[in-house]
Chain A
Amino acid sequence: MTQMSIVFDLDMCVGCHSCTVACKMENNVRLGEFWSKVLQIGPTGTFPDLELYWLPVLCQHCRDPQCTKVCPTGASYQREDGVVLIDKDRCIGCQYCIVACSYGVRYYNEEEGVVEKCTLCAHLIDRGEEPECVKTCIAKCRIFGDIDDPNSEVSKKIREAGEENVHTLVDVGNQPSLKYILKKHTWRS
């Protein structure tokens, strides 16, 4: 099996939004829409005993995605390598997938009448490059690779971090493939 994914080292993320802008540039994302965004989690606690980290949020490229199941035309689909994509030619803009997604990372493009989202920069990874957000990351906190390959950098990173420090966004059975490493602070998704 192959599951392309991004592992985020949240102990490194600095909340600079470079990934947000890199994504907009590479994918010509419309204003007001963010296929990749960064949330500030915290500060939590009572002054001055506080915790804070930043959480990049984008399509989780789930192993068992809900969006593809509810799509009436098969426009939302999962590739062999695990990347979840939308075939715009088949999308009828019904937006069921937007409702089905737990993460609010799909956007309806009313000009084209289709739904759009993070493609893991499929056009770049197919020619051996990394997604643009990974390339530009100031903190080098995004690592891209095949999470099913035990020898990949992402798998190594996850092993090194230790199970208790590896998190995913809320999982209702859809099995998000993106992983978040957080050691220094308490995970509050």
Chain B
Amino acid sequence: MKKLKITRQTFLKATAATGVAASLYSPEMPPLKGLVEAKESAAGGGGVRVLKSSCRGCHGGCWTLVHVRDGRVVKVEPDPEGGSLGTLCALGLAATQRAYHPDRIKYPMKRVGKRGEGKWLRVSWDEALDTIAKKFNEIKEKYGPEFAMLAKGTGRDVDQAVTMAVFKAWGMPHAIGPGLICHTCATNIAETMGVGIHGRPPAGPGGASLMDANLGVIVGANVAGFSADVKRAKMRKALIGKKIITFDPDFDHVEASQADIWLPVRPGTDCAWALAWLNVIIDEDLYDHGFVEQWTNAPFLVVIEPKKPQRGAGEVPGPLLTEADMKLNGKPTRYMVWDEATKSLKYWDATPMPPPSKGPPFPIYVLEWEAAGIKPALFGTYKVKLKDGREVECKPTWQILWERIKEWTPEKAAEVTWIPANKIRETARMFATTKPASIYVGVALDMHVTMTQTHRILTFLSGVTGNFDYERLSPDVPGFIDFRSAQPRVSLPPEVHMKKIGADKYPIYACSSWTGVGSVPWDSFLQSMLIGRPYKPKALMAWTTTLMWAPNQKDTWNALKEFEFIATCDIFMTPLVEISDIVLPGATWLEEDRLCEKGDGIRVKQNATGRLWEAMPDLEIGFKLSRALGIRDLIFPWETVEELLDYQLKGTGYTFAEFKKIGHIKCPPFQYPVARYKRGMMRVPPTDFTDRKPGFPTPTGKLEVYSVKLKEWGYDPIYVHYVEPPESPYSTPELAKEYPLILTTGKRTPVFYHSEYRQLPWLREIFPVPLLGINPEAATELGIKDGDWVWIESPRGRVRHVAHLTNGIHPRVVQSYQHNWWYPEKPATPENPKGVFDSNINVLMDSEHTDSVGGSTVHRGLLCKVYKAVEGAPEGIWTEPEQFKAWLPKPPGGE
């Protein structure tokens, strides 16, 4: 046994395939001990080998034991040693049904019929890759790299890094993917404030950990039961032993049904209760004055010269008052405040310092205002004489914020959200007076037109109640290392970024560094493909995505068909694969050698099946495709995948071959250091601010109530205004007469993951059809009974679900269970390949109304009508176990 010392930091450095190393700053971890080599387990019975591996049925990371008999995987079970607290969900357990599925894409193929007609010809890997490379390189040469796009599904572990690395190295500036309505947009917003998104990775200095909090506020999240991820079991555990307040229109999941207070908010209106909470907390003086004065830019004076913003709603109150306004040679980075102690103007110097040559050990910081005896004013109006002799009126940012939200009393918010005013007031007080209190936000808020402001307000709420980097912080519920910090990073020049589609309308998107599954905002994407403005891309590489998450599916499919060339890589013949030109057979996690860094350390993932047909793991495809594209040396300076894995393990002292036997290295739980912003631990790479000054990585060095970035981009810098959903009984009362119900979507079923797994018998038989949750009161009015097939219709189109009557939803709200529904059992047809338009609720979604900063679209809180489908189920779908038998495993050789 080798003696081994590893820290998370050194590991991450080791895994940074190219470019910059990790950005996580953690104290040295104690040395690891107690490693035990995996043995051939007797547990599986005669002739069974038990391999340590890790699941990737979703984002993945749960540690698994894979039982192999005669070269075939016969069983997958959780490894009690780690991962998701030693548990495994249905998606992981059904892995054998996926790997050996008879309908898998087994070989590379090229289309020989019309798009969607289902006619294919088997080709060699070389021919398939060369065809893709030739087409992409031709387009790059003739038009430029921006004329090709990558489409990515939801984030996994390394595949995302691989696919992005390949195409970024090739020069492509943009991708399309669900990050637009899931996480990435919100992360960008958080970065403008200099923080992470509450409770979600990358965790920044967000609020207190849910695990440790005494009060948990859960907003639109079904993590424990119905989501998927390594955090599932941890979330279940986190719900115990504390008060839980849950905002969610839906009661039928554990975060709501086990909450102490369940508040069924009208879909799309969370911004309103958040405003009311802030209103109560300021009005009743429940906020942490020290934090607000010292660590936010709330005291900074704003020159009152209101004008309309270039973009978005609200108004720009005027610029921040700086020393440069006051005197000759004054610095524009010295922000003025009114000192109540001396009744005079003082400044905060936000001038970035040169990065220190050697990092100090991050001492706890002394409150600077306090040390200097300064008491910055948060309220009031002040007359200030400028250097040009003008006298202007100034107000602290906090005063303007208060003026904006003063009207947002719980009573007003109650009218908007349909949550009683007394409940809003009571919960606001609970939140402000319980320490630590944690806000855990699911994906729901990323699908509103108020995505930006709601995330901003919730972040303020965590900060101003003193819950940032709370002292008892332990690993947060997500509890895994963010792989993105370790993925290859290839920088593109700014002028290439400006060519991104949507860059003109959404400056934040133009600036984002294309980490994560950032996406071209969908209104801009459709415009480019359907009208050719500003130009029409020609080729698409879609890597394990169906693009069924996108709003307005009819327009989306028309747009996709405008691509001259589409290549796909997938495991099954999805609707998108059916309209592509070349398809590559992807591999499942049972077939690949990898490393997984989620859960409790570094875990192996190993090829347990051998090669199945000609399916190939993403990493290997990445190697081969980059070679075909002629850019391999830019990103993969290794000859084989195993060499890369050896390199990633370098810090551990093991080779990959050795590591397969060890199985994993447990890392100590990741402990965020206390109060990072007070120690200068936030202004470090990879942020733009690297001087290690205490504070936040923003232009003012503070948590920005007044966002300098938003101001630069032409938005209202104090962006907190409520916007009513674009279709609602209040914003469009006429439309509401025809479409009287409010539709929310995206509720998970526990056995599917987005568009995946509809063809696995064990899973599909549990949820054979898409459900529409509807209150019995509404159903009775509409003559709908439980189990009836119904049409759900919006101005964009209609789809069919089965009515599921439940009291757990407001009588005027209906909810679609499991988005992105398609029917693998249905044939490919050019009009409706694999039933893509039969039941996918995103047919109904609108692509035109977006969050004006982030570009995300509304998938929760539009109008619809529901009526009985006299035609019954969509034609040709399967609902019976007898039918699913056709999908039982057929391993190679048995054909």
Contact = CB atoms under 8 A, between A and B. Distances in A.
B77 A22 contact: yes
B225 interface: yes
Contacts of B257: 42-43, 50-53
B882 A20 contact: no
B824 interface: no
B184 interface: no
A98 to B, nearest CB: 18
Contact of A138 (B224, B762, B775, B885): B224
Contact of A22 (B93, B236, B254): B93
Interface in A102-129: 127, 129
A48 B251 contact: yes
A110 to B, nearest CB: 12
Contacts of A30: 881
Interface stretch (B79-87, B310-318, B541-549, B660-668): B79-87
Interface string B66-84: 0000000001111010001
A129 B75 CA distance: 15
A31 B807 contact: no
A43 B87 contact: no
A161 to B, nearest CB: 15
Interface in A140-158: 140
A60 to B, nearest CB: 22
A73 interface: no
B811 interface: yes
A79 interface: no
Interface in A25-55: 25-26, 30-32, 40, 42-48, 50-53
A138 B84 contact: yes
A12 B236 contact: yes
A20 B90 contact: yes
A18 B89 contact: yes
Provide the main secondary structure of the chain B interface: loop
Interface string B742-774: 000000001100000000011101100000000
A24 B236 contact: no
Contacts of A18: 87-90, 93, 750
B884 A137 contact: no
Interface string B771-812: 000010000000000000000000000000000001111110
Contacts, number: 129
A48 B258 contact: no
A21 B807 contact: no
Contacts of A169: none
Interface in A1-35: 11-12, 14-18, 20-22, 24-26, 30-32
Contacts of A32: 765, 880-882
B77 A135 contact: yes
B89 A16 contact: yes
A113 to B, nearest CB: 18
B766 A43 contact: no
A184 B750 CA distance: 23
A15 B254 contact: yes
A117 B632 CA distance: 55
A129 B67 CA distance: 15
Contact of A48 (B77, B240, B262, B882): B262
A52 B773 CA distance: 15
Given A15-B225, A32-B765, A129-B43, A47 B775 contact: yes
A40 B90 CA distance: 17
A57 interface: no
B882 A25 contact: no
B748 to A, nearest CB: 10
Contacts of A101: none
A21 B258 contact: no
Nearest to B809: A47
B253 to A, nearest CB: 8
Interface of B: 43, 75-78, 80, 84-85, 87-90, 93-94, 96, 224-226, 232-233, 236, 240, 251-254, 257-258, 262, 264, 750-751, 761-763, 765-766, 775, 806-811, 880-882, 884-885, 888
Interface of A: 11-12, 14-18, 20-22, 24-26, 30-32, 40, 42-48, 50-53, 127, 129, 132, 135-140, 184
16 contacts: A16-B90, A18-B93, A21-B751, A21-B762, A25-B76, A25-B93, A31-B881, A32-B765, A47-B775, A47-B809, A48-B810, A52-B252, A52-B808, A135-B80, A136-B88, A139-B233
Given A46-B807, A48-B262, A48-B810, 13 more contacts: A15-B226, A16-B89, A16-B224, A17-B766, A21-B94, A22-B88, A40-B252, A42-B257, A47-B811, A50-B807, A136-B89, A136-B93, A138-B232
